[in-house]
Amino acid sequence: MKYLPFGRTGLMVSQLALGTGNFGTGWGHGADPDTSEAIFNAYADAGGNFIDTADVYQFGQSEEILGALLDGRREDFVVATKFTRGAAPNANRLVTGNSRKAMVASVEASLRRLKTDRIDIYWAHYPDSVTPAEEIVRGFEDLARAGKILYAGLSNFPAWRLSRIVTLAELTRVVPVAAAQFEHSLVHRQPEADLFPASDALGLGVVTWSPLGGGMLTGKYRQGEKGRAEGFGGRVFQPENSGQRTSVLDTVLLIADELGVGADHVAIAWAETHGAVPMIGPRSPEQLASNLGALAVELSSDQLDRLDAVSSLDPTAPARDHVPRAGGKSPRVVIA
């Protein structure tokens, strides 16, 4: 596993993050504690040190399972969690959203479930379209000054909201809003138009979720598998519902065959070329082992050109320069 500095922080994080939305069965679809432990240990054995969860994942079970798994090795990992939706199926409106009250209630509950005294990166899961930017910044500051969180992050925020909140935090010299998280894959490239450039300009560490399009880019749904197509009610899933998406998957499968690797290896390796930390979310040790295979894949310039061209939002756009970071900056990496 390689390690790189996360944005303008001093954190050195592994090149792939482990998303734990599948840790638990509270949603009726996921991994039991023993399976979750096997996934966690295999990721750690591979050198992974970046764990991402949320209070809402499996209605709190993900954090609870992680709390047990972190016992005795808390300092080996960067632990990130999120708030906004609450951990209960029908959470009270006063403990949901982005308000300071929701932050305080949520962080205390997450700390208890995670069995830790602080959260390394605390994400607002998504904007509630009500709470002012100033209140979000002040809430993060309160938590940081109380020692409950080290860094703040914004997940699924549009670029204009992201820019305003980060700028307010900079001007008021409060807690560093250090990170952005958003969906990005060969079938969801919209963030390249605004979120990637904004994050790069603001010096944010970037985590991208669903690099496999909810599993679509593995090709497994062509074989009749269901997975996230049904398991999460069809959410966080990109269907093969257009001619372009069919062409994208065809190209991924063709390149995978050329390299003698899995389709997931190609999709994850492509996502890594954008300077972000792609987040994988396996439901079994076998899926994890396959996803980690992407670490050994190096796509050629020709293969990157083909993937870029077939997935382009603008078919008339020229091929990009192949740099590992938006803005042309190469991240410093350390190989374990």
DSSP count for the chain of H helices, then E strands: 11, 11
The three-class DSSP label of residue 327 is: coil
Q: Tell me which residue of 184, 331, 329 sits closest to 271, measured CA to CA.
A: 184
pTM above 0.75, yes or no: yes
> How high is the pLDDT of residue 240?
77
CA distances to 21, 163, 252, 314 from 239, rounded to whole Å, are 20, 31, 15, 20
> How high is the pLDDT of residue 233?
52
Q: Using 50, 70 and 90 to split pLDDT, how confident is the model at 227?
A: low
- Residues carrying an active site annotation: 57
CA distances to 16, 40, 132, 292, 334 from 47, rounded to whole Å, are 10, 11, 39, 11, 12
Q: Model confidence over 30-89: pLDDT tens digits?
A: 999 999 999 999 999 999 999 999 999 999 999 999 999 999 999 999 999 999 999 988
Question: For residues 101 and 315, which has the higher predicted lDDT (pLDDT)?
Answer: 101
